[in-house]
Structure 1
Amino acid sequence: MKIRWSRTTPQLALGPAVILTMIAFVGSIAWTIYVSFTTSRRLPDYAIDWSEPLRQYSRLFRDSAWQTSLSNLIILALGSALAIVFGFLLAAMIERERRGEDFFRTVFLYPLAVSLIVTGVAWRWIFNPQLGIEHFLHGLGWTSVNFNWLADGDTAMYAIILASVWQSSGFYMALMLAGLKSIPDEIWSAARLDGVSLWRVYLEIIIPMMKFTFLTCAILLSLGVIKAYDIVVAMTNGGPGQSTWVPAYFTINAMTNKGNLGYASAAATMMLVLTLLVFLPLVLLTVWQQRRKKTGGAA
């Protein structure tokens, strides 16, 4: 029996990559979940105490720092959603005003070229009362202005959100701009002939037609928020106190500072659960919408 190389060659070529993925990705996830049921400290201990296998998880949910991390995650998610809003507004303005499109698109995309660490350091300077906005405004005579948000636990998280929105708005603008360019010109012409106001065209026609673009942005945003770590380290290093801790920071801190591998693995496993709880519904909604669209188109 002759081997049909035209069919088997792609599978053979992909074989090493699939094996490597299974070992490095799926294997590491399985290892982390297993270690979370052990009492491992700095080094892994693979013996599970079956009298209390959920010891690390019960301790995790009693930890006030973990509860703070979850609260901050919700705040960060809600605040970071503004990046999608600003991205759409920027894309709408650029798309409507074609002149200078390349220039403004480059300007708004520029923050994306800067890493989150650099972004965090730059915004830490901006919020520094001796160097940043507060110092500038005091020089203008507005001495009552207080812009030292990073020193206050009640406002530090909002400073991180502001920096995150600045860094990511250009990325969502590019996605929205691609979605807007896919809208047929006949839609705009028909709306113009009917005398429909511009804001109604966007709210009632354009935005519903771009639902897949918004879902894609929501998926990418949710993944970025759950794994947020770099910008927190660069701007506040979790402070003041524990006011800006997020799950990723909590997990790394449990491993590096506390030297508790089992506890850190439990936190990492819960991060995976959070990712699945957010990611899977959005993906399933996207697939359902696409199938519904195909079914409607076929009908």
Structure 2
Amino acid sequence: MTFRWSRWSPQLALVPAGLVTLVAFIGAILWTVYLSLTRSRRLPEYEIDWSEWGRQYERLFKDSAWQISLQNLIVLGLGSALAIVFGFILAAMIDREKRGESIFRTVFLYPLAISLIVTGAAWRWMFNPELGVEHFIHSIGLTWVNASWLARPETAMYGVILASVWQSAGFYMALMLAGLKSINSEIWSAARLDGVGLFRLYTEIIIPMMKFTFVTCAILLSLGVIKAYDVIVAMTNGGPGQSTYVPAYFTIQALSAKGNLGFASAAAVVMLLITAVIFLPLVLLTAWQQRRSGART
């Protein structure tokens, strides 16, 4: 039997990618799970005390900073969802106004070209009471305005959300604009002929037709929120106190500041579980909707 290179070459080309996935992704996950069951400190220990295998997880959920991190994760997720809302509104406005479309797309997409570190540093300066927006407002006589959100624990997280929405709204606008462009123009014409109002057109026709786009945006948003770290470091460094701790920041702090590898691994495993709980239902929902729409056609 002759060896057919054309048949085996695609499989051979996938071997390096498969090895990288197996070692760097699956292997790293299994190694992290294993370390979370040990008493590892600065250096890994590979002996598991099965009588106390959940010790790190018990410590984790009793830690007040971790509880704050989980609460902030919910707040950040709900607040960051505004980026999808604003992205859709901007996309709808640009799609209706054809003139200057390329200019507006460039302007709104520009924040995406800036790293989260730079974004966080810029917004930290804007919230600085001595140099930023508050200083300018006070200089024109509006001394009652308080815009130093990052200095107060009860408002610091809202400042982080504002910076995150500003940075990512343009990205979701681009996705929404692509979804709007894919809608058949005859649907718009038929709606205008039937006298359908603008609000009903979007809420009853356009948005349901873009459900796959919204699910995709939700998946990307959830992944970004769970791994949020750069903007926290740049804007607040977790402060004031621990008021802006999120799981990713907590995990890095447990590893670098506390030097507790086992504790940080437990936090990382819980982050992975949170990602799976949020991510997998969205993926399954998308696959189910695609299969349902395919069966109809």
Distance 2:84 2:169 in 1: 7
Q: Which runs of 5+ in 1 are unaligned?
A: none
- Give the letter for the 1:18 counterpart: G
Output one character per residue of 1:219-253: Cα deviation in whole Å (capped at 9) or x when no partner: 00000000000000000000000000000000000
> How far, CA to CA, are the matches of 1:65 and 1:54 in structure 2?
19
**Equivalent in the alignment of 1:7:** 7
Deviations 1:4-61 (CA, angstroms, capped at 9, x unpaired): 2111001111111211221111101100000000000000000001111000001111
1:158 matched to which residue of 2? 158
Amino acid at match of 1:80: S
Which AA in structure 2 matches 1:238? G
Q: Aligned partners of 2:211, 2:145: CA distance in 1, in Å?
A: 41
Structure 1 partner of 2:283? 283
For the residue of structure 2 that corresponds to 1:51, the secondary structure is helix
Is residue 2:177 matched to residue 1:174?
A: no
Matched residue, 2:51 = 51
The RMSD of aligned alpha carbons is 0.5
The corresponding residue for 2:137 is 137
CA distance in 1, matches of 2:159, 2:16: 44
Structure-2 separation of matches of 1:92 and 1:131: 36
CA–CA separation in structure 1 for the residues paired with 2:16 and 2:155: 49
Matched, 1:249 2:253: no
Is it true that 1:202 corresponds to 2:235 in the alignment? Answer: no
Distance across 2 between alignment mates of 1:192 and 1:20: 53
Q: Taking structure 2 as the reference length, what is the TM-score of the superposition? A: 0.99
- Alignment match, 2:80: 80
Shift of 1:131: 1.0
Whichever residue aligns with residue 198 of structure 1, its letter is L
Alignment of 1:109 onto 2:109: yes
Deviations, residues 156-207 of structure 1 (Å, cap 9, x unaligned): 0000000000000000000000000001111010000011111110000000
Deviates more, 1:13-22 or 1:226-235: 13-22
User: Is residue 92 of structure 2 the alignment partner of residue 89 of structure 1?
Assistant: no
Percent identical residues: 74
- For 1:134 and 1:16, locate their aligned partners in 2 and report how far apart those are by CA, in whole Å: 54
Match of 1:238 in 2: 238
Greater Cα offset, 17-26 or 196-205: 17-26
- CA distance in 1 between counterparts of 2:255 and 2:208 reads 45
Query: 2: CA distance between counterparts of 1:134 and 1:235?
Result: 16
Question: Tell me, what secondary structure is at the counterpart of 2:112?
Answer: helix
How far apart in 1 are the matches of 2:120 and 2:251?
20
**Residue type of the partner of 1:226?**
I
Q: Tell me how far apart the structure 2 counterparts of residues 142 and 261 of structure 1 sit (CA, whole Å).
A: 50
Q: Provide the C-alpha distance between the structure 2 equivalents of 1:28 and 1:10, rounded to a whole number of angstroms.
A: 26
Runs of 4+ in structure 1 over 2 Å off = none
Tell me the amino acid that sits aligned with residue 239 of structure 1.
Answer: G
What is the CA–CA distance in structure 1 between the aligned matches of 2:138 and 2:13, rounded to whole Å?
64
Quote how far apart the aligned CAs of 1:94 are.
Answer: 0.1
List runs of 5+ in structure 2 lacking aligned partners: none
Q: Match for residue 184 of structure 2?
A: 184
* Letter aligned with residue 20 of structure 2: L
Q: With the length of structure 1 as denominator, give the TM-score of the two structures.
A: 0.99
> Counterpart in 2 of 1:218?
218
Instruction: Report the secondary structure of 1:248's partner residue.
Output: helix
Give the Cα–Cα distance (whole angstroms) in 2 for the partners of residues 278 and 7 of structure 1. 39
Q: Which amino acid aligns with 2:6?
A: S
Aligned residues: 297
